[in-house]
Structure 1
Amino acid sequence: MAINKAMRAALKALSYPDLDIKNHYKLHRGVIRLANPPARKPYYSTWDHKISCGDHQIPVRIFQPDSPGSHPVLLFFHGGGWVTGDINSYDKVCHYMAKATNHLVVSVDYRLAPEHRFPAAPEDCYAVARELFVKTHLLGARPDQITLIGDSAGGNLAAVVSLMARDRGEFMPKRQILIYPATHYDHTPQSPFESVRENGMGYLLTSKRVCDYMELYSKDPEDFQNPYFSPLLAPDLSGQPKTLLITAQYDPLRDEGEAYGQRLKDEGNDVLIHRMPDALHGFFSLPPRFVQVRRCYSLINRFVAEMKE
């Protein structure tokens, strides 16, 4: 469904650039949970698990596709600005993801800011990835059958986990799918990216809201310069997984995502960059009747087809 003039006007009316996320993030979380209740069994098969990480455990939810037998894995990191979202609010998204891709989907309930600020979220996501890549018996998938995937803040986390994996040398993903990822720290009017000014108001996700999320996520202004916070600032992007990077036309994060994909490509990685026309930030969570969602899964299925046997 293209965004026509009437829809754009409605979206502008629904956008609140002065929304006080910083002081009301708990209320915002509650609204998101109410708006996205989990799908109900027995319409799909799922089970919950926990992975130990230091002094805490990380919940994960595993979604089984409809077909029997073993399956490749999509390790999914949800969006929500590192502050909102959880495995329940992304329940229906992951159910459809498993069905549409015929993959086992592992959704990670990483710790949220501001209760747990950077680098809690990437460390949780890395710990789950390490568990799956090193202990292959857990899901019966070879390391080359595991693909990292995330949307928005989750796309940031997927990119960061790949950087951490290269730097730490414990495992290395073969593929990553980054859906409108956050890759840079500056979303003020002084941002180097035109999409922040072009799409920073009127399209649900505002540039002010992104700034608020990042302020809640960071412990210190120095975090903004950390490549595990802003992967576009990494001095070296070589040795990264084969990448599918999908952006949205009407998204303040569009240009920084595409810049990250271009840098990956320039530094010798295999990268496919696709800008979804007539799409807003967050379209991946829409129902599958939306053409942008169907196109997104068509791109994903072509990307992962080579590891299906």
Structure 2
Amino acid sequence: MTQSDIVFNGGIFSPDRVPQSTSQINAWLFLQSLSAPEGQEWWDIGAEEFRRLQEAGKTAWPAPTYRAPNGSYIQIPSRESGREITCRVVPPPSSKPDGAFFKIHGGGHVLSHCDWRDELCEAIAEATNLTVVSPEYRLAPEHPFPCGVEDVFDVAEYLVDNSPAIYGGPLKFMGGESAGATLSMQTFLHLLDARPAFSIQGVSFVYGLYDWSLLPSCNNWSTPLVLKTETLKHYREAYLGNRPTEELRDPAISPIYHSVFRYPGSQIASLEDLKTEREKKRAELPPALFLCGTLDPILDDTVLMSFKWQVAGGDAVVKFVEGAPHGYQLFPRERYQPAVFGRKILLDWLKERL
């Protein structure tokens, strides 16, 4: 029997695998999207006003209600003289952390804040004994690309340089969800050049987008479960403006085109060079977790990016959550099974790599 070189559990995408409770809530979300009043999206009323309403609990997404009691805020210098970057810090229960986890929030580069995911940051800190640091990076459209990217780069460099002295050990992990996953990928690739001696124990990418020219699932997703193609294009315009396709594929914008992920032999003059490049890439890429729901328009990004990560020599665990749309980690875990499953996968993966 001829064996496939790619082993894939296609059954996980079967509708029969989706728990009934998940299907019921998805159906409610679908109807909520269809009945939402016109003119109430952030691009209709303005991002700043929408953020204010979101904070007050007056949008479809509930306002964040939990702040870690032992959480605090710090200021980290930016590359601009006189400007600092606020970060949320959530320490582990232990008084002696073993290092840092760099956690980057999502929100399409337009919404959310560094202290909106304290519950998850607290769970990560408890599971890893690491201090979780989350940056308040600048948001579009007021601060379009590359403002937010520069902020997360600055905080990451600071952690690489100072975490051992401040948090009892090195920067050991980084990761995020949605835009936070995209920024985590960009930050990791940046550190390869900015801090050549840098190494990390793992990176987690939860439903991230890695190609802003939009892969097929992103480009023709009409089911209004949290995110659809129209929504993605509004985020893209706010963050990147009206760039032509070729500019959107700049590796600085879309990390899937970074030279680290060129296929073997794509730009190699000799077989010896091919071997050298392969060994270098294998040493550079740490273990990675790619996690995505089966009803997420960014599904193709997870599949292709995780494949390219492995082709480049990195180890990757790729997991899909049955019936989960984009942003499922934001849903209340007491009512939504995908939020429970997704968090368990993430925390288990982190503990396995400590």
Task: State the Cα distance separating 1:177 from its structure 2 match.
Answer: 0.3
Report the more deviating stretch, 270-279 or 295-304: 295-304
Residue 44 (1) aligns with residue 65 (2): no
Normalised to the residue count of structure 2, the TM-score between the two structures is 0.76
Task: State the Cα distance separating 1:307 from its structure 2 match.
Answer: 5.1
Letter of the 1:295 counterpart: F
Map 1:244-255 to 2 at 5 A.
244-255=289-300
Task: State the Cα distance separating 1:111 from its structure 2 match.
Answer: 0.7
Q: 1:54 & 1:230 partners in 2: Cα distance?
A: 23
Normalised to the residue count of structure 1, the TM-score between the two structures is 0.87
Identity of aligned residues (%): 23
Q: 1:246 & 1:257 partners in 2: Cα distance?
A: 7
Partner of 1:207: 229
1:272–1:149 Cα change, 3 Å: same
Partner of 1:271: 316
Task: State the Cα distance separating 1:134 from its structure 2 match.
Answer: 1.2
Residue 148 (1) aligns with residue 148 (2): no
Alignment partner of 1:113 out of 112, 128, 140:
140
Map 1:1-309 to 2 at 5 A.
2=20, 4-15=22-33, 20-23=41-44, 24-34=46-56, 35-40=62-67, 44-55=69-80, 56-135=83-162, 136-143=164-171, 146-170=172-196, 171-187=198-214, 192-194=215-217, 196-197=219-220, 199-219=221-241, 221=243, 223-237=247-261, 238=281, 239-289=284-334, 290-306=336-352, 308=354
Q: 1:186 & 1:226 partners in 2: Cα distance?
A: 10
Letter of the 2:177 counterpart: D
Letter of the 1:166 counterpart: L
Contact kept in structure 2, 1:133 and 1:142, CA below 8 Å:
yes
Q: CA RMSD in A?
A: 2.4
Contact kept in structure 2, 1:241 and 1:269, CA below 8 Å:
yes
Q: 1:162 & 1:5 partners in 2: Cα distance?
A: 36
Q: Which runs of 5+ in 2 are unaligned?
A: 1-18, 57-61, 262-280
Contact kept in structure 2, 1:29 and 1:85, CA below 8 Å:
yes
Q: 1:31 & 1:102 partners in 2: Cα distance?
A: 35
